[in-house]
Amino acid sequence: MERLASVPRSETGPDGGTYQVRRLPSAAKEYTCPACLRPIARGSAHIVAWPEEAPFGMPQGVEGRRHWHSECWRRRLRPA
């Protein structure tokens, strides 16, 4: 079941764009949420999201991924 939770799916992001989103059961390291700028503690369940279409059609790869608190993503808070 844990593996199914991490399958990426399309969702609308805070800016109205389409993002690939994965729900992760735990953080491997500490990340900073782009919405609230607070840390996502190591071991915490959270969201990782990246734009399906990068600006100007340029691929972003790993650089486009952002780690969000699940609640910040659910509320579609805009990055600070």
Contact 32, 38 (CB under 8 A): yes
- CA 67, CA 19: separation in Å to the nearest integer? 12
Local confidence pLDDT in tens for the 80 residues of the chain:
455 457 889 999 998 988 999 999 999 999 999 999 999 999 999 999 998 876 665 556 667 899 999 999 999 999 87
Structure tokens belonging to residue 70: 């699940």
* pLDDT for the residue numbered 40: 98
Instruction: State residue 10's pLDDT score.
Output: 92
